[in-house]
A and B are shown apart, each in its own frame.
Chain A
Amino acid sequence: MAPGAPHLVVRQVSKRFGAAHVLDRVDLTIARGELVTLLGPSGCGKTTLLRLIAGLESPDAGSVELAGRDITRVPPHRRNVGVVFQSYALFPHLTVYGNVAFGLKSRGRSRGEIDAAVGRALSLVHLEHLGARRIAALSGGQQQRVALARAIAVEPDVLLFDEALSALDRKLREEMQVELRRLLREVGATAIFVTHDQDEALTMSDRVAVMFAGRIEQVDEPRIVYARPATLFTLGFVGLSTRVSGIVAGSNNGRVEVDTAVGRLSAIGNFLIGSPVVVAVRPEHVRAAPETAGNCVAGRVRSIVFHGSNSLVEVDAGAATTLLAQIPNDVSAPPRVGDEIRLCWPVAETFAFPMPEAGA
């Protein structure tokens, strides 16, 4: 997807709480109408970045621009940003209608305009019949919808969701992911979702920004984040992979030969001979069939986890190395625990990453 003109620009933003560097020179650019996910483990700074965009925290350094305006020092009530909080933060003393109308009243809209906008927002989330309800009398899923309606009713320049679906049970969450994406497309909203759930990130967004320890590691379309992870962290955080460390023994034209505990492996990457690296492959590229080219390693099947159309096979290759292979279940002689097995995979799906420094 070719991003259009930048709509939200976060530039070199840093934030510290006491001695802790919570955000470290973060850059993020989002086009109008784009849905972007901030994906990362708990404590990596996702909520803080979102709060900085909303104006609920102010950055120590860097700037935030929204719809062509520098809003770095603009207080939250003058930003036109919609937030759906993790805890929803609905006003318990107001009705559903009162909650959704709150932002419109703050903007001094007329009664008629408010009525119409509240009606539209509530019907978008299928709650038009519950306007008079008190918040306490709603289910979790309904509260979630009210929080969404309240945020979209004012037509904000950007919508921010902080783990907004995480409190819902799994089935409802998956339904809401699909519905939310459809709804946001319908109203043409620009949105940022914060989540630590990779499935949610891959399902819902045009682009995924992977965060780790206060930095953005990679921003790309979901398929690229998955298939071409830029860092070892992204590879490990999104999807499954086998990782083997080794030393570069040969390097030629974007390809390296790496000596590892399970033999010499070829991989994509540019490294000097002698560099310590980590070689990685996703399980779906690993085959049990005999191959003529590529990387091959022999081992003994340690466990098999059945996943319907395929099984995830764990193979002990010796030297404290475990290989993961996703084997289709249509083969005539499926492997069994204890079998000796030879696994091969293409070099084009094998990646080399610099070895993380100790302690990193």
Chain B
Amino acid sequence: MTHAAAQAPAGKIVDRDRSAALAFLAPSLLFLLVAFVTPLILLLGVSLAGPSGLSLDAYGKLLGTGYYLTVIWNSLRLALLTTIFALAIAYPAAFALARARGMVRTALLTCLFLPLAASVIVKAFAWTILLRSDGIVNRILVGLGLIEAPIRMIFTETALIVGSVNIFLPFMILPIYAVVTQLDRRLSEAAATLGAPPIAAFLKVTLPLTLPGIIAGVALVFSLSVSAYVVPTLLIGERYPTLASTIAKAYLLARDPQFGAAAGVALLVIALIVVTLSARLAGRENSR
């Protein structure tokens, strides 16, 4: 888009481009307005509505209590660790996927897409079956004599991160894979013939050209995992309260919609910051 706009000789063409784009966007904008923006405004309203008019009490409680700061940190920590590990696994995997041919590629892509069809709850339960003390992993380890008694795996942070990375991994791989398939292999060859050793060629050519995919994947996985509810509830439970579980508790148990709404707004703000930041970064990449 920036490319076309920069090249357009007169402002008129840009205007026509804009209005055409707007016309195409209109249906989705309308849908978002009804289904997303309106509830958000209501949410914001609820979060500010105390028993006796306007109040910031809910936000005060959220940001002024040690316990709730831990909750916020838990959500951020889960999202951060999930994103980092998912990226570390997904980046090479996306290249392997893009380089694979024929049956292998089809098989790998199927492995990637199939789990998306299964519900998060099913996948999280599958992990609990694998990891609980009489689960498959423990039985194998005991059977092999590697450990004497079952070790505790489920309800640990490790289990949480492993499960969360597994469940959100496709959302990291797919955008990176999409960019890698567009990558011209001649470019790294050109870098090599120009005297760049493999690592320099990677840092100066491959990495910058795949950055848009990385940014998209990071934004997706971070915003999905920061607001995850099922995964931490099933894989670690009460020991690791998150913003999502706090919202659920506020509405379902404590019947405190104002506080639940405030926690929801906090979650939204975090996701907004990440998405805006990555859109900025991606935009800067594209316009270079």
What residues of chain A have their CB less than 8 Å away from a CB belonging to chain B?
54-56, 75-83, 85, 87, 89-93, 102-103, 106-107, 134, 136-137, 150, 154
Distance in angstroms from A204 CB to nearest chain B CB is 21
Interface range, B side:
20 to 34
B7 located at the interface, meaning its Cβ lies under 8 Å from any Cβ of chain A in the complex: yes
Contacts A87-B184, A106-B200 given; does A76 touch B205 at CB 8 Å: no
Task: Give Cα A75 to B192, complex, Å.
Answer: 8
**B287, closest chain A residue (CB):** A134
* Pairs A–B under 8 Å by Cβ, sample size 27: A54-B193, A56-B192, A76-B189, A76-B192, A76-B193, A77-B193, A77-B194, A77-B196, A79-B193, A80-B195, A83-B190, A83-B193, A85-B186, A89-B184, A89-B189, A89-B190, A91-B191, A91-B205, A93-B208, A93-B209, A102-B191, A102-B194, A106-B196, A106-B200, A134-B288, A136-B3, A154-B194
Complex alpha-carbon distance, A274 and B198, angstroms: 60
Q: Which residue of the partner chain A has the closest CB to B185?
A: A89
* B186 contact set on A, CB distance < 8 A: 85, 87, 89
B: residues with CB less than 8 A from A are 3, 6-7, 184, 186-187, 189-198, 200-201, 204-205, 208-209, 285, 288
Q: Which residues of A contact B192 (CB under 8 A)?
A: 55-56, 75-77
Please state if A92 and B196 are interface contacts (CB–CB under 8 Å). no
Q: Select the residue from B191, B194, B198 with max chain A CB neighbours within 10 A.
A: B194
- Distance to closest chain A CB from B17 (angstroms): 17
Q: Which residues of B contact A87 (CB under 8 A)?
A: 184, 186
Residues of A with C-beta under 8 A to B201: 77
Bound Cα distance A150, B197 (Å): 17
B193 lies within 8 A of A91 (CB): no
A137 and B194 form a contact (CB under 8 A): no
Chain A residues contacting B195 (CB-CB under 8 Å) are 77-78, 80, 103, 106-107, 154
The answer on a CB contact under 8 Å between A137 and B7 is yes
CA gap between A154 and B205 in the complex, in Å: 18
Is B194 in contact with A103, judged by CB distance below 8 angstroms?
A: yes
Chain B residue nearest in CB terms to A147? B190
Other A-B contacts than A76-B189, A82-B193, A85-B190, 19 sampled, CB-CB below 8 A, are: A55-B193, A75-B192, A75-B197, A76-B192, A77-B193, A77-B194, A77-B195, A77-B196, A91-B190, A91-B191, A93-B205, A93-B209, A93-B285, A102-B191, A103-B195, A106-B194, A106-B195, A106-B200, A134-B288
Nearest-CB residue, chain A, relative to B6? A137
Closest to B209 in A: A93
Give the docked Cα–Cα distance between A80 and B193 (Å): 7
Bound Cα distance A137, B7 (Å): 8
Q: Is the CB of A77 within 8 A of B197?
A: yes
Q: For the complex, what is the distance from the CA of A79 to the CA of B195, rounded to whole Å?
A: 8
Docked complex Cα distance between A78 and B193 (Å): 8
Measured in the bound complex, the distance between the Cα atoms of B162 and A329 in whole Å is: 84
| B61 → A minimal CB distance (Å) | 47
Residues of B within 8 A of A56 (CB): 189, 192-193
A77 to B102, CA, bound (A): 32
Please report the C-alpha to C-alpha distance between residue A81 and residue B3 in the assembled complex, in whole angstroms: 34
Smallest CB-CB A-B distances: 8 pairs: A103-B194, A106-B195, A89-B186, A89-B190, A76-B192, A106-B196, A83-B193, A77-B192
* Contact residues in B for A154 (Cβ distance below 8 Å): 194-195
Q: Select from chain A the residue with minimum beta-carbon distance to B198.
A: A77
Q: A150 vs B194: C-alpha distance in the bound complex, in angstroms? A: 8
- Min Cβ gap A236→B in Å is 32
A78 to B192, CA, bound (A): 8
Chain A residues whose CB sits within 8 angstroms of the CB of B3 once the complex forms: 136-137
Nearest to A87 among chain B residues (CB) is B186
Most chain-B CB neighbours within 10 Å: which of A54, A91, A134, A137?
A91
Task: Report the bound CA distance from A83 to B189 in whole Å.
Answer: 9
Shortest CB–CB separation between residue B80 and chain A, in angstroms?
A: 28
Cβ-closest chain A residue relative to B205 = A91
Contact A89:B194 (CB < 8 A) given known A106-B200, A136-B3, A137-B7: no
Q: Name A83's closest neighbour in chain B (CB-CB).
A: B193
Residues in A whose Cβ lies below 8 Å from that of B190: 83, 85, 89-91
Which of B3, B192, B198 has most A Cβ within 10 Å? Answer: B192
Q: How far is the CA of A78 from the CA of B205 in the complex (A)?
A: 18
Give Cα A300–Cα B204 distance, bound, in whole angstroms.
67
Q: Report the Cα distance A77→B188, complex, angstroms.
A: 11
Smallest beta-carbon distance A190→chain B, Å: 15
Within the assembled complex, what's the spacing in Å between the Cα atoms of A176 and B200? 33
Who on chain B is nearest to A103 by CB?
A: B194
Measured between alpha carbons, how far is A272 from B184 in the docked complex, in Å? 55
Bound Cα distance A328, B124 (Å): 87
A49 to B200, CA, bound (A): 26
Residues on B with beta carbons closer than 8 Å to the beta carbon of A90: 190
Interchain CB contact under 8 A, A81 and B205: no
State whether A102 touches B196 (Cβ < 8 A): yes
Give the distance in Å from the alpha carbon of A103 to the alpha carbon of B193 in the complex.
8
Task: State the CA gap A55–B197 with chains docked (Å).
Answer: 13
**How distant is the Cα of A136 from the Cα of B5 in the complex, in angstroms?**
13
**Alpha-carbon distance A67/B20, docked complex (angstroms):** 59
Complexed CA–CA distance, A246 and B195 (Å): 56
Q: Chain B contacts of A80 at CB under 8 A?
A: 195
Q: Which residues of A contact B194 (CB under 8 A)?
A: 77, 102-103, 106, 150, 154
Chain B residues contacting A54 (CB-CB under 8 Å) are: 193
